[in-house]
Amino acid sequence: MKKYLGNIIKLAVSLGIGIGLIYLFVHQMTDNDKQHVVNDIKRANYFWVLMGPFVGLISNYFRTQRWRLLLKPLGYQPRFLNTFMSVLIMYFFNLFFPRLGEVSRCGVLARYEHVPVEKGVGTMVLERLTDVVCLGIVWIMLLVFEHDKFTSLFNTDWNTKFADIIAKYNISPTVKYGVLGAVLLIIIIFLAAQLRRKGFKNITASIWERVKGLWLGLISIKDISNPFEFLFHSIMIWVCYFLMIYLSFRMFPETASLGIGAGALCLFFGGIAYSLTPGGLGLYPIFIQLILTLYGITSSAAISMGLVAWSAQTAFVLLAGVVSLILLAILNREPALEEVTVKS
């Protein structure tokens, strides 16, 4: 039970943040705002709505090929289709439990391609570092080309905004500080339990092992037979991520004229939203609204664009994950039957 307590707490916190944000956001909207959003969703151009998930599927192709490239120096050449579906399953499980998808995709290759889980997980270190570097490059580009818009998000008086929300819902200082105190107490109890169970030396050793693992993952790129192919796949993954948002702008006339800068800004903060809550729940549409209003888009059209884009992508991930789970069992049934026949 203790083994899963930390993961349960993480899931509860991330889901709580997402659901709480949705609640606060929806309930601060007027009836007129809600009607505007409903009308916007009805009039959306669903050709461009579907283009987002379609480009997302293409990005999974490049992610699959990059992963196969990382596994090759380890002596494994998993079949494309099994690897591709394992990537789809990764996104599926990440909707429900943070980071479960990464373990799940390694489990798929362990079962159907005989790639040891620990080796599969090891390749993800370099993948994550590469994605972090790519996100950092987007951040640098935003500082250079969209400096005013980027910095204006941080110059906003968020204290005043949150104070207005608290005042609107008549949240008393006692409740506000009581909730804050409870959260801090839970964090302290969790850290104290970890310290008592593992000990300071074991914790520091664990941190050091992770640091060494990150370093080994980073330098493992030298073992790749074609580093330029690795670079190409990495770039194309993020080009697809950008196009998913940029093409989605075309779903509404109000957002159709938005340019590359707006797309890059949405890409950066959208990536942060997906890392903070499962599948960007609650946070992604809010981030998109905040960004698009900087470009003069009305609040209702901005939130509608974020909601429709997020809903389409989430629905696709759910569908692709379920289909992949079924197809994996069907397409890999023959080797299992042959094995049973030999044993009998």
Q: What is the pLDDT of residues 80-125, one digit of tens each?
A: 999 999 999 999 888 877 677 788 888 889 889 988 877 777 788 7
Is a pLDDT exceeding 60 seen at residue 174?
Answer: yes
Residue 53 lies in a domain: yes
3-state helix, strand, coil in the chain (%, to 5): 85, 0, 15
Angle between helices 260-276 and 117-145 (to 10 degrees): 140
**DSSP code per residue over 264-276:** HHHHHHHHHHHHH
Residue 16 lies in a domain: no
Residue 231 lies in a domain: yes
Angle between helices 117-145 and 46-71 (to 10 degrees): 130
CA–CA separation, 253 and 275 (whole Å):
30
Residue 31 lies in a domain: no
Mean pLDDT of the region 273-296: 83
Residue 34 lies in a domain: no
Residue 271 lies in a domain: yes
Is the pTM here over 0.85, yes or no?
Answer: no
| pLDDT score, position 206 | 67
- State the residue range of the domain holding 165: 41-332
Alpha-carbon 301 to chain mean position: 24
Residue 237 lies in a domain: yes
Is a pLDDT exceeding 50 seen at residue 335?
Answer: no
Residue 42 exposed, middle or buried by CB count within 10 Å (0-12, 13-18, 19+): exposed
How many domains does the chain contain in total? 1
CA–CA separation, 53 and 49 (whole Å):
8
Q: What is the pLDDT of residues 179-238, one digit of tens each?
A: 667 667 766 776 677 677 766 667 677 667 656 655 655 565 667 778 889 999 999 999
Residue 105 lies in a domain: yes
**DSSP code per residue over 93-136:** HHTTSTTHHHHHHHHHHHHHS---HHHHHHHHHHHHHHHHHHHH
Count other C-beta atoms under 10 Å from residue 308's C-beta: 22
